[in-house]
Every structure is written in structure tokens, then in C-alpha cells.
């Protein structure tokens, strides 16, 4: 431990703690634009400078470890003046377009400019003339608003291991760009996870805003509008309205969506229950009949699917062919539901509200996303976009009464709701697969080994004299460890290290998705995850295959899991994408 003083307050922190982190322990916030709690320091913005008492030497708090007996001062007139000058310099290269910016009211640069009372600048403005990159249709890259903090580059290269972004040129001309000059983001290896947008402090990377398409559909009297919300949305959207992270607003969101004009309000959790029934059946089939096709790898994260198709196409046969839950609700809305309610699917509009930027890509990813005969999901928006729409509609989410979802694509089990957190798909699938193989229930329905925010989690459960070995990875940089173990074992002809693998591209799973409210930290991921585990814990129904509406769906429409009809509507295929060099 190290003992030191910050602004006269004694701190005791482990050796290696930075001055910035130590200050937070005693409730002192040192401003920074480049340091994010998820990322290592890059010391690129220079706003976090502090001084040692009795010295004029300035240190960068984000990357300087606190030392024994240091006496640090974080705020004095000189420090404040230096910080103000740095902000003014940043603003000299930043367009003053706050009113029309995607981050208006939510921008870290705007907030600092306000806190430091910046009204004029001593520096002449120089604005780069670089057009926005909208090529992916998921995230928009607007280099003019970039302040060169480096967060997106670090998150994309280090945390996601994709290496789609880099800095180009030098000095004043430095700019953020897809890796490779003259290359658009869609031509880069980008997997559309949106983690760069979740970590960018300004409006230089943000979600492609699709809300106008939704309002247009809602205005059209001849269009039947249906909507679904993903599990992770319900425990995060409240943050945009002053609720604490993890507050579960499911039934208020249903009510808000009805007020906005949707004719039917579904829940993606219903689709998650169906996904589990199909995926658990696939696992049981491979485990009992074709073990050479193991391990089975989950496929409900489109960024992970894109990553696999680009960097590990040799694993595509191991992927579950089952579609993701929102794609399943989309196709069932335009077939099963439309038939029941005598609605012409040609006049239906299905919206998905997701924590995810990548789902915007997934809805047109392959021919199977049109299995209903139409585009199954018409538009996908993020949690952030829905929060804005609720505000635009003047709905007071705090006081609105709770409502229920619509039959027959709304009811769900607790297993479905934990889909939104890392380990949740695995846990839900094991509950059902165990029952399918043994005819009995897992001794402990809550499978603790796959819970928590460690990057890779491993577990084993005895099933009929065998041990089923599982692994869960989240954050794409953690995937290689798991896949390498499998590939090495296969090469050496050894026993498989895992039979079932879950991967989610975003750290924490979808609760930490790229389209969730800004300000993500591990603490917030934990709270959002707890919100979902609480809902599962309090659900009467804990098993996807016991959802009576799922049973009805098979009885009336799909026949049985993995049937011809199920394969036609609920499954997809994968391809090898062009090879990318990291
Ligand atoms: S969306 Fe994900 S993969 Fe694409 S640039 Fe951003 S962080 Fe990288
Ligand atoms: S795009 Fe955003 S996160 Fe990336 S360097 Fe620029 S300001 Fe920082
Ligand atoms: S983990 Fe969830 S939010 Fe993130 S890319 Fe995958 S599906 Fe989207």
C-alpha cells in the first residue's frame, strides 16, 4: 500500500494506483477527456494535470502512479488556467455544432467547456474538411468532431481485437480513420459492435439514427406497427431518465410504446425462449449423435458472427444455425402472428429496440432475414434512440402506468431475460439441454460459474455420466484464448476442452452494448446485470421450454424443434468473408 495526500486528504491505495484513481477514492474528480475506466491511459488530452505541493512540475494524473508521501494538489488557479487553455485548443479544431450533434446534452467535451465557463477562445479556428463515413449503416464516423483522444482506437484494437480504426497523418492533420487509407468503414474489418461509439467522448462516432423511419411508419394509417424490446434495454434505458443503472422498466416501456402508436408490443425475450429451445435441441443432437460437430458455439451476437466470418471462417460449422431472438420475433410476427390476426404481412412494420448497433446490420445480413417473404425486421434502433423518441413523444416515463405485452409473442421465462448479460445464453441453454438429455431438472437452476464479469468463464456439469464442459467469453479480445484451446485440441487429436461456447462481442454482453446509454463502466455493467438476474430470480417460469406460449407455437405452427418449418423460419447460414489482416 502507498500512503499519500491529495488536496490535504490522506489516501491509502495499493501500489501502482494512478493519481487519477487515488483521487476518485477520496471523491475528488480530476477532469480528463482521453482516460476511460475501461481503457489503459494514453495521456493524450493533457487535461488531467496536477502539481506536487511546493513544486511547479505538472504531472498527468491518468498515467502517473501515486508514490509514498506524495503531496498532490489537483486544483489551483494555474492548473485551472492550463486546463482551460487545453480545452480552448481542442475547441479551435472542433466545429461548434452542438445543437445539431448526436451527442448534444451528452457530450464530455461540451460538459467540460460548460464547467470551465469557456465563452471565447484566443485561438483561430481550423476545421478539417472530412466528410462523415456512413457506409456501415450502423455507426457513423464523423472525423471533424474527433478530438484525437484515442479511446476508439484503443477499444477497437485492444478490447475488441478488430483493428478497424487508426490515426492517419501527423501533427495538426492527424485524423481518425478506418485502418487503410481510402478505405471506408464498411470495407474495413469493422464488426459494427459500436464499442467505439460507447467510448467516444464526443459526437465523432455515433449510431446511425433510424428514428425518422419509425415515426414515418407510425404515421401511416395503413401500416400495422409492431415493436419488440431486447432484454438488456429494460435495465439500462432508465439511465436516460434519471433512474439508477439496473432499474427494470419493462412494463413502463411497453406502455410508452403503445402511447407512441404501436399496434402490437412484443418482447424479444419470447424470441430468446424460442432460440433456447432450438439451440438446446441442436446441442443435444450434436452431443448425443454427432460429437464430431462439437463444440457448439452461440450465434445470437451479430458482431461475433461477423468476426467469425472474417477471422475464423474455419469455425462456421460449429456455429449454431439458430437466428438471434429479435430475428425470430420478426419472422414470427410476419407469419404466425399475422396469420392469427388476419393481418397482411405486406402492410406490417416490425421494429426492434436493441442495446446494439450491430443489429442494424443483422436485419439484412443474409437471405434468411427475409424468411417471411418480406424483410422480417424492418428497422432496428438502439436504446439511446428509443430514449430520444420517448422524450420527443412527451411521455413522462416516471409517472406512466405499467402495462403488459401483447399475446402471443410477449410472454417469457426468466431464462430468456438473462440473455442480455454475459453467460446468460449459456445458463438458459443448459437449463433446457439438461432437461432434454436427462428428463430432470438441474440441481441448481442458477449456474454461478458462468456469471460475473471475468473475460473468460469456464464450467462443467455432469450429465448422464458425462461431463459437459462450457466456456463463456465476452469482449472480442477474449475469444482467441477459447478458440485457440479448441483448435489446438483438435489438431492434437485430444479431448475437447469445451463442448459448448458462448461469445458476446461487447464486454459484459448486451448490457454493455454499443447502443446503450453513455457512461459505461464495470460498476454499471454489474448493476444492469443484477437487474436481469433479479428478474429471472423472481420469475415463476425459469425454463424456456416450459413457456406455455412457446409450447403453443410449436403445437400450432412449427411442429417441433429443428422441424422443417423451424429450419425454414428460424435458422440461418454463414459465409466466409474476405480475409482481413490485423
Ligand atoms: S464498431 Fe466495433 S469493430 Fe467497428 S470500429 Fe467501432 S469498435 Fe471497431
Ligand atoms: S473518434 Fe472519438 S474516441 Fe475516437 S479519437 Fe476521436 S474523439 Fe476520441
Ligand atoms: S454483445 Fe449484444 S449488444 Fe454487443 S454486439 Fe453482440 S448482440 Fe450487440
> pLDDT confidence of 69, banded at 50, 70, 90?
very high
Atom 6, ligand 2: residue with shortest CA distance: 146
Structure confidence at residue 284 (pLDDT): 95
Atom 3, ligand 1: residue with shortest CA distance: 190
Structure confidence at residue 444 (pLDDT): 83
How far does residue 36's CA lie from ligand 1's centre (Å)? 16
pLDDT tops 70 at residue 581? no
pLDDT tops 90 at residue 97? yes
Q: Is 478 in the pocket of ligand 1 (CB under 6 A)?
A: no
> pLDDT confidence of 51, banded at 50, 70, 90?
very high
pLDDT tops 90 at residue 573? yes
C-alpha cell of residue 198 = 460507447
Structure confidence at residue 478 (pLDDT): 97
Nearest residue to 219 (alpha-carbon basis) of 341, 349, 71: 349
Determine the Cα–Cα distance for residues 328 and 276; give it in Å rounded to an integer: 11
> pLDDT confidence of 325, banded at 50, 70, 90?
very high
pLDDT tops 90 at residue 110? yes
pLDDT tops 70 at residue 127? yes
Atom 2, ligand 1: residue with shortest CA distance: 193
Q: How far is CA 297 from the centre of its chain?
A: 19
Determine the Cα–Cα distance for residues 488 and 395; give it in Å rounded to an integer: 55
CATH class name, domain 125-207: alpha beta
Which ligand 3 atom minimizes the distance to the CA of 191?
5
How far does residue 172's CA lie from ligand 2's centre (Å)? 15
> pLDDT confidence of 443, banded at 50, 70, 90?
confident
Cβ contacts of 231 within 8 Å, gap of 6 or more: 268, 269, 272, 416, 417, 418, 419, 420, 424, 510, 532
> Which of 191, 204, 302 best tests ligand 1's pocket when mutated (most atoms within 8 Å of CB)?
191
CATH 3.40.640.10 fits 2-75, yes or no: no
Which ligand 3 atom minimizes the distance to the CA of 194?
5
**Average pLDDT in the chain:** 95
Where do the DSSP E strands lie in 360-499?
379-382, 456-463, 466-474
Q: What percent of the chain has pLDDT over 70?
A: 100
Structure confidence at residue 448 (pLDDT): 87
CATH 3.40.50.1780 fits 212-570, yes or no: yes
> Which of 140, 161, 162 best tests ligand 1's pocket when mutated (most atoms within 8 Å of CB)?
162
pLDDT tops 80 at residue 582? no
Which ligand 2 atom minimizes the distance to the CA of 150?
5
Structure confidence at residue 464 (pLDDT): 87
pLDDT tens digits, residue range 412-429? 999 999 999 999 999 999
> Which of 36, 139, 360, 476 best tests ligand 1's pocket when mutated (most atoms within 8 Å of CB)?
139
Structure confidence at residue 172 (pLDDT): 79
Structure confidence at residue 61 (pLDDT): 97
Ligand nearest to the CA of 109: 2
Q: Is 140 in the pocket of ligand 1 (CB under 6 A)?
A: no
Atom 4, ligand 2: residue with shortest CA distance: 152
pLDDT tops 70 at residue 249? yes
pLDDT tens digits, residue range 478-504? 999 999 999 999 999 999 999 999 999
What mean pLDDT comes out for the span 121-137?
91
pLDDT tops 70 at residue 410? yes
275-307 residues labelled b (16+ CB within 10 A) or e (exposed) = bbbbbbbbbbebbeeeeeebbbbbbbbbbbbbb
Classify 379 as helix, strand or coil. strand
C-alpha cell of residue 496 = 475437447
C-alpha cell of residue 443 = 440441481
Structure confidence at residue 388 (pLDDT): 97
> Which of 45, 112, 142, 149 best tests ligand 2's pocket when mutated (most atoms within 8 Å of CB)?
149
pLDDT tens digits, residue range 163-181? 999 999 888 788 899 988 7
Which ligand 2 atom minimizes the distance to the CA of 196?
3
Going by their DSSP bridges, the two strands 9-13 and 2-6 should be labelled as antiparallel
Eight-state DSSP code of residue 349? E
Q: Is 151 in the pocket of ligand 1 (CB under 6 A)?
A: no
Determine the Cα–Cα distance for residues 116 and 47; give it in Å rounded to an integer: 12
What mean pLDDT comes out for the span 179-196?
93
pLDDT tens digits, residue range 263-283? 999 999 999 999 999 999 999
Burial of 394 (0-12, 13-18, 19+ CB in 10 A): exposed
What mean pLDDT comes out for the span 341-345?
97
How far does residue 311's CA lie from ligand 2's centre (Å)? 25
Q: Is 160 in the pocket of ligand 1 (CB under 6 A)?
A: yes
Which ligand 3 atom minimizes the distance to the CA of 355?
3
Q: Any idea where the domains of the chain sit in the sequence?
A: 2-75, 125-207, 212-570
How far does residue 114's CA lie from ligand 2's centre (Å)? 20
Strand partners, 9: 6
Pocket of ligand 3 (CB under 6 A): 193, 301, 303, 355-356, 358, 504-506, 509-510, 513
> pLDDT confidence of 446, banded at 50, 70, 90?
confident
How far does residue 293's CA lie from ligand 1's centre (Å)? 31
- List residues with catalytic annotation: 279, 282, 300, 320, 359, 362, 368, 510
Determine the Cα–Cα distance for residues 342 and 204; give it in Å rounded to an integer: 45
Amino acid at each position: 500500500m502507498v500512503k499519500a495526500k491529495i488536496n490535504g486528504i490522506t489516501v491509502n491505495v495499493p501500489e501502482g494506483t494512478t493519481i487519477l484513481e487515488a483521487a476518485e477514492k477520496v471523491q475528488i474528480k480530476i477532469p480528463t477527456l482521453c482516460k476511460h475506466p475501461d481503457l489503459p491511459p494514453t495521456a493524450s488530452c493533457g487535461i488531467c494535470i496536477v502539481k506536487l505541493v511546493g513544486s511547479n512540475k505538472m504531472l498527468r494524473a491518468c498515467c502517473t502512479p501515486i508514490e509514498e508521501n506524495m503531496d498532490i494538489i489537483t486544483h489551483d488557479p494555474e492548473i485551472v488556467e492550463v486546463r482551460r487553455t487545453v480545452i480552448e485548443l481542442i475547441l479551435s479544431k472542433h466545429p461548434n455544432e452542438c445543437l445539431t450533434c448526436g451527442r448534444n446534452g451528452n457530450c464530455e467535451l461540451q460538459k467540460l467547456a460548460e464547467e470551465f465557463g469557456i465563452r471565447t477562445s484566443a485561438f483561430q479556428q481550423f476545421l478539417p474538411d472530412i466528410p462523415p463515413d456512413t457506409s456501415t449503416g450502423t455507426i457513423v464516423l464523423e472525423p471533424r468532431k474527433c478530438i484525437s483522444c484515442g479511446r476508439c482506437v484503443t477499444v477497437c484494437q485492444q478490447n475488441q481485437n478488430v483493428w478497424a480504426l487508426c490515426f492517419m497523418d501527423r501533427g495538426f492533420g492527424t485524423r481518425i480513420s478506418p485502418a487503410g487509407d481510402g478505405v471506408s468503414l464498411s470495407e474495413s474489418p469493422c464488426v459494427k459492435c459500436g464499442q467505439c461509439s460507447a467510448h467516444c467522448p464526443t459526437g465523432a462516432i455515433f449510431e446511425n439514427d433510424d428514428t425518422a423511419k419509425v415515426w414515418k411508419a407510425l404515421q401511416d394509417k395503413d401500416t400495422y406497427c409492431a415493436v419488440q424490446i431486447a432484454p438488456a434495454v429494460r435495465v439500462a434505458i432508465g439511465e436516460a431518465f434519471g433512474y439508477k443503472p439496473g432499474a427494470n422498466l419493462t412494463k413502463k416501456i411497453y406502455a410508452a410504446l403503445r402511447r407512441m402508436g404501436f399496434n402490437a408490443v412484443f418482447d424479444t425475450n419470447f424470441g430468446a425462449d424460442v432460440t433456447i429451445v432450438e439451440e438446446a435441441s441442436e446441442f443435444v443432437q450434436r452431443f448425443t449423435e454427432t460429437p464430431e460437430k462439437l463444440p457448439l458455439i452461440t450465434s445470437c451476437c451479430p458482431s461475433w458472427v461477423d468476426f467469425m466470418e472474417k477471422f475464423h471462417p474455419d469455425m462456421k460449422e460449429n456455429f449454431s444455425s439458430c437466428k438471434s431472438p429479435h430475428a425470430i420475433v420478426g419472422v414470427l410476427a410476419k407469419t404466425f402472428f399475422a396469420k392469427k390476426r388476419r393481418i397482411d404481412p405486406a402492410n406490417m412494420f416490425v421494429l426492434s429496440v436493441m442495446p446494439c448497433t450491430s443489429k442494424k446490420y443483422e436485419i439484412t445480413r443474409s437471405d434468411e432475414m427475409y424468411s417471411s417473404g418480406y424483410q422480417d425486421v424492418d428497422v432496428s434502433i438502439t436504446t439511446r434512440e428509443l430514449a430520444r423518441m420517448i422524450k420527443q413523444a412527451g411521455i413522462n416515463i416516471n409517472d406512466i402506468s405499467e402495462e403488459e405485452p401483447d399475446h402471443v409473442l410477449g410472454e417469457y421465462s426468466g431464462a430468456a431475460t438473462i440473455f442480455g448479460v454475459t453467460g446468460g445464453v449459456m445458463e438458459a441453454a443448459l437449463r433446457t439441454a439438461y432437461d432434454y438429455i436427462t428428463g430432470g431438472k438441474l440441481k441448481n437452476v442458477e449456474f454461478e460459474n458462468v456469471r460475473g464479469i471475468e473475460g473468460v468463464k469456464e464450467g462443467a456439469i455432469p450429465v448422464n455420466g458425462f461431463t459437459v464442459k462450457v466456456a463463456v467469453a465476452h469482449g472480442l479480445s477474449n475469444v482467441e484464448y477459447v478458440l485457440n484451446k479448441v483448435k489446438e485440441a483438435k489438431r492434437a487429436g485430444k479431448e475437447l476442452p469445451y463442448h459448448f461456447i458462448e461469445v458476446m462481442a461487447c464486454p459484459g454482453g448486451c448490457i454493455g452494448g454499443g447502443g446503450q446509454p453513455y457512461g459505461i463502466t464495470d460498476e454499471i455493467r454489474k448493476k444492469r446485470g443484477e437487474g436481469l438476474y433479479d428478474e429471472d430470480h423472481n420469475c415463476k417460469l425459469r425454463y424456456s421450454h416450459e413457456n406455455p406460449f412457446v409450447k403453443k407455437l410449436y403445437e400450432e405452427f412449427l411442429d417441433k424443434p429443428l422441424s422443417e418449418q423451424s429450419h425454414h423460419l428460424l435458422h440461418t447460414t454463414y459465409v466466409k468473408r474476405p480475409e482481413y489482416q490485423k
